[in-house]
Amino acid sequence: MSRASETRLTRLSTTAAAGTLLWISRTSFGLLASYPLLLAIRASAMTAGPDGDTVLFQPGSLLLLELLRLGGAWLSSAAELSLLLLGGFAIFELIPLAIALDFLVAPERRWRERVARAMRYFPKFLGLGLIALLAQAALLLAASLLSAAAKPMFASSDERVRSLAPLALLGLGLVACGAFGGVLDIARATLIRRDVEAGGARAALAQAVDCFRQQPLRVLLGPYPSVAGSAFAVLGATWVLLRFAPSQSSNAALVLSFGAHQLAMLFAIAWRVRWLRGALELSAESD
């Protein structure tokens, strides 16, 4: 086998390993976070019949409204617990993310070393995430304030201009948030790739910002295929369920729903891993 073929095979295997790791972690965390809601629905006894939860979603069925009316307190408590679990799992998801980046950087490294490195960089990943969250919130707030301040400027303009101007400003804010998200991923990639200790997260973030200054278009456009792929996957799974989900067999509908959801997640994760590899390449080029 030629060296080019070996490199291509190694690249494919590490990409598959990183994607599989992210898929397993997200699926596991998602199932655990949804479990309180499942227990609350079971406690209502409305799904205890032979048809299971199919009766809640049949055309013209009022049982779903009855479930919300009678089990509102249980569902509310379960939803709060699920949100707390989702928040906690979003934080712990940084560990599989660090391991996935390490897969892309060093395919030959042993699992024990990968996990040790991921645990060591977890506080830095968390700090970078908090910085990004605050920056994105500030950008959205600035877009909202700018939209409110610009309303008097468009008071005498056409109705369409007055309607589209706030949306355009909000769109600019979202683009800026996406750009900062790309900078965040490059900073995380820099931490893993360079094994940064001195300066830690601050040095990695500084290099990521410098990378944005050098190649703004690549940093701006890099994450958007991942976002578009995720949106396409969700829309595709929704279309499949609306078009092909059986209305009689609860087990078949459950299997189809779970399969469509998992395929959509795998598709979105594949685009996410593609961008993570791109972030590593951008980080290396900015050295």
Q: Is 215 left (phi over 0), alpha (psi -120 to 50) or beta?
A: beta
Confidence check: pLDDT of 61 > 80: no
Helix runs in the chain, H state only: 3-43, 63-70, 72-92, 94-105, 111-150, 159-194, 200-214, 216-221, 224-244, 250-285
Contact 56, 48 (CB under 8 A): no
pLDDT the model gives residue 238: 82
Q: Which range has the worst mean pLDDT, 66-70, 100-104, 110-114, 238-242?
A: 66-70
Q: Which helix (H) or strand (E) holds 196?
A: none
Q: Is 110 left (phi over 0), alpha (psi -120 to 50) or beta?
A: beta
Confidence check: pLDDT of 266 > 80: yes
pLDDT digits (tens, 9 = 90+) for 2-48: 566 657 777 788 888 888 999 999 989 888 988 888 887 777 666 66
Summary mean pLDDT of the chain: 81
pLDDT digits (tens, 9 = 90+) for 205-219: 888 889 888 888 888
pLDDT digits (tens, 9 = 90+) for 163-207: 777 788 888 888 888 888 889 999 999 988 876 554 577 888 888
Confidence check: pLDDT of 155 > 80: no
Confidence check: pLDDT of 56 > 70: no
- The CA–CA distances, whole Å, from 241 to 238, 245, 259 equal 5, 5, 10
pLDDT the model gives residue 15: 86
Pairwise pLDDT comparison (196 vs 241), residue with the higher score: 241
Residues 6+ apart with CB under 8 A from 187: 128, 201, 204, 205, 207, 208
Burial of 135 (0-12, 13-18, 19+ CB in 10 A): middle
pLDDT the model gives residue 58: 62
Average pLDDT over residues 250-260: 74
Confidence check: pLDDT of 1 > 60: no
| Closest of 72, 43, 53 to residue 250, by C-alpha | 53
Confidence check: pLDDT of 276 > 70: yes
pLDDT the model gives residue 97: 92
pLDDT the model gives residue 215: 87
Average pLDDT over residues 127-135: 89
- The CA–CA distances, whole Å, from 83 to 34, 41, 80, 169, 256 equal 9, 16, 5, 30, 26
pLDDT digits (tens, 9 = 90+) for 68-99: 777 677 778 888 888 999 888 889 999 999 99
The owner of tokens 């969250």 is: 133
pLDDT the model gives residue 249: 53
Give the number of other CB atoms < 10 A from CB of residue 132: 19
The percentage of the chain sitting over the pLDDT mark of 90, rounded to a whole number, equals 12
pLDDT the model gives residue 109: 84
Task: Give the pair of three-digit tokens for residue 179.
Answer: 């750009």
Give the number of other CB atoms < 10 A from CB of residue 285: 11
pLDDT the model gives residue 79: 86
